[in-house]
Amino acid sequence: MNPELDAFLTKAQKVMVGELNGLSPQQESKVYFGLPAEDHDPWSKHQRRVHVGVDLGTAYTVLAVLDEQMQPLAGEYRFAQIVRDGLVVDFHGAISLLRELKQNVEDWLGFELATAATTYPPGVPATEVRATRHVVEAAGFEVEHVVDEPTAANSVLQVENGAVVDVGGGTTGIAIFRAGEVIYTADEPTGGTHFSLVIAGALKLEFEQAEALKKDTRQHRRLFPVVRPVMEKVGTIVARHIAAHPVETIYLVGGTACFSGIERVVQEVTGVKTVIPGHPLFVTPLGVAMHDV
């Protein structure tokens, strides 16, 4: 991957967990990213033109804020099952959660967030795209731009030729790029929620226990044989959609791409070189914020 991209995402991740700005992690839901407070004052009165991205995922809802130079400034994320297979199933919960995240980030920044761009899985009906927009607007944002998830991710990755695959909690979204332009998109059910269901069934656990176990990287080697069939399903989905469009490299993003070894399985199934950028959970939210212009 691009060294500058790796450095960008690594720095963002360090600030998210409080290593750069001195913040103490408060539960796994809290995330702040940007420059250390002593180098960059996010509360400054002139720092008003920011770019906000909202990603309503099956597993995580993420709010990301970029500054005037499109650099990570602030944000927060929370595990919440308000979306299923790309469709909003809990409107009240989604609006309430997003209002809370918005308020928390505004309190930290010291000014109101007025606008936002948001995402949708490619291939969902137009009514569902409108539903996502309505959730974000009901939370207090003006929404001018709505973009599919893999295209949003590519705003960060800047892939000229290849496939960007967003493996989220409920769906796998694919976008194929030629000369930096999208020539094909698709989306199918299968993602991290299916990993958790398989783990729960194999180990006789509650879903919440399986979800927590899945996110523990120390358990990945033990769980790999259990979830490999789901990884192969993801690879099969990708292979089917790229078959008519020769692709040299597949780029995996999304929270499910954090599971160790998934890129090897997708590469085996598709026969195409597969890579994962650093900290893939936040690539799409950062990218969609770039569309809030």
Instruction: Give pLDDT tens digits for 230-242.
Output: 999 999 999 999 9
Mean pLDDT of 8-37: 49
Mean pLDDT, the chain, integer: 85
Would the pLDDT of 1 be above 90? no
55 vs 5, more confident: 55
Token pair of 10 as six digits = 């690594």
Q: What is the pLDDT of residues 173-231, one digit of tens each?
A: 999 999 999 999 998 999 999 999 999 999 999 999 999 999 999 999 999 999 999 99
Does the CA dihedral 151-155-156-162 come out positive or negative? Answer: positive
**SS3 state of residue 64:** strand
3-state secondary structure 219-262: HHHHHHHHHHHHHHHHHHHHHHHHCCCCCCEEEEECHHHHCCCH
Question: Which tokens is 42 given?
Answer: 């996010």
Report the candidate in 51, 142, 52, 127 with the shortest Cα–Cα distance to residue 86: 127
56 pLDDT band, cuts 50/70/90, is confident
Q: What is the pLDDT of residue 16?
A: 53
Which residues have a Cβ under 8 Å from the Cβ of 184 and sit 6 or more positions away?
174, 175, 176, 241, 245
Do 3-148+282-289 and 154-280 share a fold? yes
37: confidence class by pLDDT, cuts 50, 70, 90: very low
How many angstroms separate the Cα of 95 from the Cα of each of 81, 142, 184, 208?
13, 14, 31, 23
Q: Say which residues have a Cβ less than 8 Å from residue 15's Cβ, sequence separation at least 6.
A: 21, 32, 33, 34, 35, 36, 72
CATH number, domain 3-148+282-289: 3.30.420.40
Given a cut of 60, is residue 256 above it in pLDDT?
A: yes
- Give the domain ranges of the chain: 3-148+282-289, 154-280
Would you state the structure tokens that stand for residue 9, as one six-digit string? 């995402």
Q: Which of 190, 253, 172, 262 is nearest to 220 (CA)?
A: 262
State which CATH number among 3.40.640.10, 3.40.50.10300, 3.30.420.40, 3.50.50.60 fits the domain covering 154-280: 3.30.420.40
Judged by DSSP in three states, 80 sits in coil
57-74 per-position pLDDT tens digit: 777 888 998 889 888 888
- pLDDT in the model for residue 32: 45
